[in-house]
A = this chain, B = another copy of it.
């Protein structure tokens, strides 16, 4: 069995930690394991496969003898160090948005466009969490019914922002319940018991970067550069797992029962759809799971051929760490 030297940039972050667990669980054939992080985190210990590893400072030379470098430390780190990793001989799987729309960089959800990996020139990009769970549901339906237009509204958990956001939600929730003063550091406003229609920065048109990611990345992954799609992204007081209300207009008739069947056999998707018994996808029941859960599959009568779906997935797993490791599996297969 061939083993690979794997570096993990951002090893101490929320997604980095999940990547460790996913590499272990999936028995990724790791030879040397090298956790990397900023100077601030260097020296911390990271547990991996029954051993403790010292986190090393990310620097030029960090990727010597590395085969696969998983990056999960934000765009600026990726922009600087992904090319370094490539020049030092590693293949980069980048979880940041730095290279996603780069025409030279494949943007991959293995269940959807695995073959796109083949054209990589050293970097493969991991899509945005909200995008991954959406395309898992859209692609199999598009294959059969052909999508005309998508309108999506998200209900995104704080874990997508990072560990400090989870702490802020917990801290603010405690304060609110006690009637104490609430301070916001991670988000511009209170997230506890509130909804923020604001994820990432606003552009001049009034869209957020998160919304534009969902639009642009979906088009790229599905190889539908002209796909009509609009998105509204909102942060909700949920610890983990993003929920999405997805409305799809099709070119062809898309009966809910047929859509359900298609989704039941779609890779990476699990249908959870028994409303009579109050069974539908939820954040709290999806946390820790690998799939995108799809439910509330029902006809939208406002267009000739339309469906509404409710899609929930663990944004740290399929939305980030799992998808990245799956890309790694494709690279070595």
Contact = CB atoms under 8 A, between A and B. Distances in A.
B278 A232 contact: no
A75 interface: no
Given A230-B247, A282-B189, A153 B150 contact: no
Interface residues of A, number: 57
Interface string A280-314: 11111000000000011111111100101010100
A214 to B, nearest CB: 12
| Main SS at interface, chain A | mixed
A194 interface: yes
A280 B197 contact: yes
A278 B202 CA distance: 9
Interface string A191-203: 0011111100010
Interface in A144-161: 149-151, 153, 155
Contacts of A278: 188-189, 198
A86 interface: no
A72 interface: no
A228 interface: yes
Given A173-B177, A230-B301, A243 B197 contact: yes
Given A170-B177, A194-B283, A195-B282, 4 more contacts: A153-B247, A193-B237, A229-B302, A232-B310
What 5 pairs across the A-B complex have the smallest Cβ distances? A206-B298, A153-B153, A228-B302, A153-B245, A188-B278
